[in-house]
Amino acid sequence: MRVSTAAAENSTPAKGAPQPPGNEKSESFKSSGARPGDAIFSSLSVGSGLIIFAVLAAIFIFLLIQSLPAIENWNAIPTNSGKQNLFEFVGPLVYGTVLASLLALFIAAPIAIGIALFISHYAPRKLATPIGYVIDLLAAVPSVVFGLWGGVWLVPLMQPLYTFLNTSPLTSWIPLFQGNPHAPMRNVMTAAIVLAVMILPIITAVSREVFLQAPGAQEEAAIGLGATKWEMVRMVVLPFGRSGVVSACMLGLGRALGETMAVLMVLSPGYTYSLHLLEVGRHMTIASYIASQNAESTGIDMSKLIFAGLVLFLITFVINALARWIVAASARKK
């Protein structure tokens, strides 16, 4: 016992004595707290995150610089009806964009929430899985296909309904259904229906995932206390997923605000602030207007289109940033 203790004491280097060369490398790694691979990976991760901010800043700066000629001549913007104020030019486009997008959200949100609840809490697994696949595949359909579907099939299909809404004593007194609609019914209401179908998969997919994360213990407790399936959904699932559903709706709204081809193929262009949803040639969205005028625009005409794109960029950025903030705030509360 004494021999082993003495050997251990002799094997321990004295303070101030030179260390073996192999220990210096290990001590340096311990003192640094990180290996070269960690530092490289950390640098790449930070750089990738900064690229996103750099791209957004570059897009904003490009749009701002290219729209400066229109901003400098804001009171003399050339249009088909003569010279206009820049805000008089972009105002009806913003109005048409927001109107079509909000109508689409109003149509799509209740249907999407109902589908999400059915998939997550009502449908048997053998039925819920294929329905979920179909919803996910619907999000991959190109915009031009939705535009063709809306222009060729939906426009004539909706004509009898629009005529009824415009002439029936039950609905003709509502300002939204007044006016003088005529065939083909390429109005903002038809465009909103097409947009609603396009944003339906986004809202459904996000809402479904949120509803599936509802606390199972609380659901079982509600059922155990005698609540029906709907009461359990109303008292547990919907309150839990409220913020997630709101963010899903805002993500869908952001998609609808920026949609181009489908709206361009369905909507007859107009340039007013009309509330008459069934009239043709009353509304236009920013994205579809830019797409229709871009090929033949030069000089200040191109600058005003870029200014309209800047306005659309800011609107969509604010909508998506707000959706992310709601998700983050909900996560902090949980």
First to last CA, the chain: 59
Identify which of 52-56, 101-105, 122-126, 175-179 has the greatest average pLDDT: 101-105
Position 63 pLDDT exceeds 80 = yes
Q: Mean pLDDT over residues 131-142, rounded?
A: 88
**pLDDT tens, position by position, 3-23:** 444 444 444 454 455 555 555
At residue 280, the 3 state secondary structure works out as strand
Per-residue confidence band for 325, with pLDDT thresholds at 50, 70 and 90: confident
**pLDDT tens, position by position, 85-99:** 778 888 899 999 999
Position 34 pLDDT exceeds 90 = no
Return the percentage of the chain with pLDDT > 90, whole number.
24
Return the percentage of the chain with pLDDT > 70, whole number.
86
Position 140 pLDDT exceeds 50 = yes
pLDDT for residue 29 = 43
The two counts, helices (H) then strands (E), for the chain are: 15, 2
pLDDT for residue 67 = 87
Position 323 pLDDT exceeds 90 = no
CB burial of residue 138 (10 Å; 0-12, 13-18, 19+):
middle
The single-letter code of the amino acid at 161 is L
pLDDT for residue 149 = 93
pLDDT for residue 53 = 87
pTM score of the predicted model: 0.81
pLDDT for residue 116 = 93
The single-letter code of the amino acid at 313 is F
What count of Cα atoms within 13 Å lies in the side-chain half-sphere of residue 58? 6
pLDDT for residue 215 = 84
Identify which of 157-171, 186-200, 281-295 has the greatest average pLDDT: 186-200
Average pLDDT value for the chain: 82
Domain ranges of the chain: 44-333
Q: Mean pLDDT over residues 110-124, rounded?
A: 91
Topology (CATH) of 44-333: MetI-like fold (1.10.3720)
**pLDDT tens, position by position, 159-171:** 889 988 888 888 8
Residue environment code for 246-271, b if the CB has 16+ CB neighbours within 10 A, otherwise e: bbbbbbbbbbbbbbbbbbbbbbbbbb
Position 117 pLDDT exceeds 60 = yes
At residue 79, the 3 state secondary structure works out as strand
CA–CA separation, 3 vs 31, rounded Å? Answer: 34
Question: Range with the lowest mean pLDDT among 131-145, 237-251, 266-280, 288-302?
Answer: 288-302
